């Protein structure tokens, strides 16, 4: 399960070969079911960046590099609202350059300057606090508009969404099951964060 983020850019200003994606805070593959991870880059990132009112679990930055000194032009910069992890035996989050399919036959000169004719497509595998949980994100980046994940028709009633109520069902047994799963998730999430805070306290004493 993953979230895909697509960001458009004009190749007339930023050729595809110059695009780089930099992600900070992604968990190692082996930590994908432990939420905050153990011994990962994410631990240090949270300690430096997080606050109780606006927590984030990493950052993502898209840049275009140019010149012999690899000068960077930032095309996108944002904070992740939930944990993500790397794929198996990978050190970086995967991304692709896609054709937007946009055509502008009215004024090619305007299109050359302003049209986003390519997308940076970034796949972000979702990390969870325990095996078997499925989280539905209400937004891909902090500050983006949020959706009501409970309104998604294809959402399976057995899946859980962080920060949203479980789907209403006509069956009372299904509803009870959803509540129990949500409680189990919340407990696992709280325990993971308690472990993280305790680890940070020990690190500060050292």
pLDDT of residue 96: 94
Residue keyed to tokens 């299904």: 174
DSSP 137: -
pLDDT of residue 178: 59
Q: Are 82 and 162 in contact (CB under 8 A)?
A: yes
Which tokens go with 183?
Answer: 């409680």
pTM exceeds 0.75: no
The 3-state DSSP class for residue 45 equals: helix
Task: From first to last of the 206 residues of the chain, give the pLDDT tens digit.
Answer: 899 999 999 998 999 999 999 999 899 999 888 765 443 444 444 444 555 555 678 899 999 999 888 899 999 999 999 899 999 989 889 899 998 776 555 444 544 555 788 999 999 999 988 887 778 888 999 999 988 888 876 655 444 444 443 334 334 455 566 566 566 656 666 666 566 566 556 655 65
pLDDT of residue 44: 46
pLDDT of residue 149: 83
pLDDT of residue 112: 53
pLDDT of residue 53: 55
DSSP 107: -
- As a whole number of angstroms, the distance between CA 57 and CA 32 comes to 13
pLDDT of residue 57: 85
pLDDT of residue 162: 47
* Pairing outcome for strands 19-24 and 59-66: antiparallel
Find residue 118's DSSP bridge partners: 9, 99
């Amino acid at each position: 399960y993953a979230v895909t983020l697509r960001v458009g850019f004009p190749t007339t200003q930023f050729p595809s070969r110059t695009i780089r994606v930099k992600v900070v805070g992604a968990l190692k593959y082996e930590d994908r079911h432990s939420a905050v991870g153990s011994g990962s880059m994410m631990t240090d990132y949270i300690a430096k960046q997080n606050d109780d009112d606006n927590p984030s679990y990493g950052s993502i930055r898209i840049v275009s590099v140019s010149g012999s000194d690899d000068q960077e032009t930032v095309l996108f910069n944002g904070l992740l609202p939930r944990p993500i992890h790397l794929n198996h035996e990978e050190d970086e989050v995967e991304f692709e350059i896609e054709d937007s399919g946009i055509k502008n036959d009215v004024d090619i000169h305007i299109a050359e300057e302003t049209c986003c004719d390519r997308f940076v497509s970034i796949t972000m595998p979702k990390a969870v606090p325990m095996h078997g949980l499925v989280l539905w994100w209400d937004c891909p980046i902090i500050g983006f508009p949020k959706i009501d994940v409970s309104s998604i028709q294809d959402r399976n009633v057995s899946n859980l969404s962080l920060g949203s109520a479980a789907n209403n069902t006509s069956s009372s047994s299904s509803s009870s099951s959803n509540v129990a799963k949500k409680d189990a998730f919340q407990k696992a999430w709280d325990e993971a964060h308690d472990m993280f805070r305790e680890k940070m306290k020990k690190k500060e004493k050292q």
